[in-house]
């Protein structure tokens, strides 16, 4: 199967045209992405999640405001040159801002009203040779600010933000001057207050836009490819602009593993899937079977799905050894043709092992082969025979006490002789032995899986109330999150 060529950077651009169309489709409770490159990982933030982020961000902003330094203001009034400098925010009354998803602009609508700020600073005037100065207090009351943003993605698949509109309005400004011959100044206060009010007001939106631009620069610098290990990377660029509904935003990511070495794209495409977005969880994440299969392909394609097994890897308690004497029980002619030699097995995937996600079940089909060799005293490997081994596994996954747990079982196992340099032999007994060995390995693996893997968490963020379910074609994960500010 041929992949759409030049699939890089294409999805975002192509999908921009169909935004209107997308809105119509997205008016369903389920998100179905139907055109272009389908995202293999979907990440949705619900309104509940947005409100959590808002609450957290408001706290961070409140804390950060103490450190804000305001640039000095200079000007001339009635021939008097003035400077307001050393301005610091003394007190902020920051009401909880409001933020909503805005499907109309594919973005966010943020506003805060009733914001009051008290600022202290120094004033100085020059009028010819006459210098004067002192301190002042200024209070800005009832500031209203509304900013509407569009979220989009750039050609590199990074999130981009764009200010659609900004409104700022100040209720009133009150100023008090102290020190110097400040009585000379008092007559200017009314004029000054209006002047400052206008200056502050006209500077708020440019400041907001500046903040958006600096956030945008951070987003532009974000990595959209994560090196998982030395073999594979996980590609996470947006495959389309985020989809915005009144109750959620959905980010569709490419979600594809690539071999670091070959960079070959998988010979299959990501099918679309519909991620449910329950309103009672903050985030929903969907990982399609394509993501799992792209990992499988990357390992297979770069030659990492193979192993060499020799006798020193067989557990010491195992009565069957990997040598021609011991294998004589299963292959009678072997010890006669190659007496008392060690053996080596090359085990490899014959084809790409494929995962399929079924309701409540993860299935894995593992078509593999085994080549057996006798190790000559001079270390030369003499080929003996080749086996085809087909096995099917299924597993269940769930979240329990903050850990992802799973259990695997073998559903089917068949072994047959593919070719032989030592003549034919019956494989039934050998098949049973291999099945026993696989089951023993599975038991060890299940002990690990039973202990579970911690859900990702950082010092500042923990996942709560997490639920995981395997659906047709994807794994769905719903969770709340708890943020803690460390500022």
Ligand X SMILES: *[C@@H]1O[C@H](CO)[C@@H](O)[C@H](O)[C@H]1NC(C)=O
Which of residues 93 and 411 has its CB atom nearest to ligand X in the complex?
A: 411
* Backbone dihedral angles phi then psi of residue 257, each to the nearest 5 degrees: -85, 140
State in angstroms the smallest separation of the CB of 346 from ligand X: 12
State in angstroms the smallest separation of the CB of 345 from ligand X: 11
Q: Spell out a b/e string for 137-159, using b for 16 or more CB atoms within 10 Å of the CB, else e.
A: ebebeebebbbbbbbbbbeebbb
The site for ligand X (CB under 6 A) is made up of 308, 310-312, 321, 323, 325-326, 340, 342, 376, 378, 380, 390, 392, 411-412, 414
Instruction: Check the CA dihedral 84-86-90-95 and report its sign.
Output: positive
State in angstroms the smallest separation of the CB of 330 from ligand X: 12
Which of residues 161 and 309 has its CB atom nearest to ligand X in the complex?
A: 309
Burial (CB < 10 A; 0-12, 13-18, 19+), residue 395, is middle
State in angstroms the smallest separation of the CB of 109 from ligand X: 53
State in angstroms the smallest separation of the CB of 248 from ligand X: 39
Which of residues 176 and 414 has its CB atom nearest to ligand X in the complex?
A: 414
State in angstroms the smallest separation of the CB of 322 from ligand X: 8
CA 314 to chain centre: 40
Which of residues 79 and 377 has its CB atom nearest to ligand X in the complex?
A: 377
CA 406 to chain centre: 22
Which of residues 100 and 321 has its CB atom nearest to ligand X in the complex?
A: 321
Which of residues 21 and 313 has its CB atom nearest to ligand X in the complex?
A: 313
Contact between residue 251 and residue 41 where contact means Cβ atoms under 8 Å apart: no
State in angstroms the smallest separation of the CB of 426 from ligand X: 18
State in angstroms the smallest separation of the CB of 413 from ligand X: 8
Which of residues 308 and 336 has its CB atom nearest to ligand X in the complex?
A: 308
What span, in angstroms and rounded, lies between the C-alpha atoms of 186 and 195? 14
Q: Which of 446, 413, 407 minimizes the C-alpha distance to 430?
A: 413
What is the SS3 assignment for the chain? Answer: CCCCCCCCCHHHHHHHCCHHHHHHHHCCCCECCCCCCCCCEEEEEEHHHHHHHHHHHHHHHHHHHCCCEECCEEEEECCEEEEEEEEEEEEEECCCCEEEEEHHHCEEEEEEEEEEEEEEEEEEEEECCEEEEEEEEEEEEEEEEEEEEEEEECCCCCEEEEEEEEEEEEEEEEEEEECCCCHHHHCCHHHHHHHHHHHHHHHHHHHHHHHHHHHHHHHHCCCCEEECCCCEEEECCECCCCEECCCEEEEEECCEEEECCCCCCCCCCCCCCCECCCCCCCEEEEEEHHHHHHHHHHHHHCCCCEEEEEHHHCCCCCCCCCECCHHHHCCCCHHHHCCCCEEEEEEEECCCCEEEEECCEEEEEEEEEEEEEEECCCCCEEEEEEEEEEEEEEEEEEEECCEEEEEEEEEEEEEEEEEECCCCCCCHHHHHHHHHHHHHHHHHHHHHHHHCEECCCCCCEEEEEEEEEEECCEEEEEEEEEECCCC
Which of residues 90 and 309 has its CB atom nearest to ligand X in the complex?
A: 309
Which of residues 23 and 363 has its CB atom nearest to ligand X in the complex?
A: 363
């Amino acid at each position: 199967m041929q992949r759409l060529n030049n699939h890089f950077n294409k999805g975002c651009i192509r999908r921009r045209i169909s935004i209107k169309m997308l809105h119509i489709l997205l008016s369903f409770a389920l998100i179905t992405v139907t055109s272009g490159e389908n995202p293999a990982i979907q990440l949705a933030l619900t309104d509940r999640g947005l409100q959590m982020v808002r609450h957290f961000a408001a706290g961070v902003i409140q804390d950060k405001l103490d450190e804000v330094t305001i640039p000095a203001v200079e000007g001339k009034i009635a021939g008097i040159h003035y400077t307001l400098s050393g301005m610091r925010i003394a007190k902020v009354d920051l009401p909880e801002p409001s933020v909503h998803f805005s499907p109309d602009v594919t973005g966010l609508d943020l506003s805060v009203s009733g914001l009051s700020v008290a600022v202290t600073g120094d004033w100085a005037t020059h009028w010819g040779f006459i210098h004067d100065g002192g301190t002042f207090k200024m209070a800005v009351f009832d500031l209203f600010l509304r900013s509407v943003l569009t979220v989009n993605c750039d050609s590199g698949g990074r999130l981009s933000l764009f200010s659609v509109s900004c409104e700022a309005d100040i209720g009133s400004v009150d100023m008090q001057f102290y020190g110097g011959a400040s009585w000379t100044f008092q007559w200017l206060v009314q004029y000054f207050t209006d002047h400052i009010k206008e200056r502050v007001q006209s500077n708020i939106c440019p400041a907001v836009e500046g903040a958006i631009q600096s956030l945008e620069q951070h987003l532009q610098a974000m990595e959209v490819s994560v090196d998982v290990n030395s073999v594979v990377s996980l590609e996470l660029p947006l495959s389309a602009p985020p989809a915005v509904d009144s109750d959620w935003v959905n980010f569709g990511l490419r979600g594809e593993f690539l071999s670091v070495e070959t960079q070959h794209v998988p010979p299959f495409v990501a099918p679309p899937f519909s991620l449910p977005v329950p309103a009672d969880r903050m985030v929903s994440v969907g990982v399609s079977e394509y993501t799992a299969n792209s990992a499988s392909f990357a390992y297979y394609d770069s030659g990492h799905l193979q192993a060499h097994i020799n006798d020193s890897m067989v557990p010491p308690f195992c009565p069957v050894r990997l040598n021609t004497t011991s294998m004589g029980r299963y292959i009678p002619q072997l010890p006669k043709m190659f007496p008392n030699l060690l053996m080596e097995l090359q085990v490899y995937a014959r084809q790409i092992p494929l995962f399929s996600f079924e309701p409540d079940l993860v299935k894995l089909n593992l078509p593999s082969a085994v080549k057996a060799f006798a190790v000559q005293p001079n270390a030369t490997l003499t080929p003996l025979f080749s086996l085809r081994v087909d096995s099917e596994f299924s597993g269940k996954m769930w979240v329990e006490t903050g850990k992802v747990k799973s259990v695997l079982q073998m559903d089917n196992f068949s072994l047959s002789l593919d070719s032989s340099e030592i003549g034919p032999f019956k494989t039934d007994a050998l098949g049973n032995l291999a099945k026993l060995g696989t089951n023993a390995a599975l038991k060890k693996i299940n002990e690990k899986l039973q202990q579970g893997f911690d859900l990702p968490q950082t010092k500042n963020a923990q996942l709560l109330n997490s639920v995981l379910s395997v659906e047709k074609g994807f794994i769905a994960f719903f969770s709340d999150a708890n943020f803690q500010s460390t500022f």
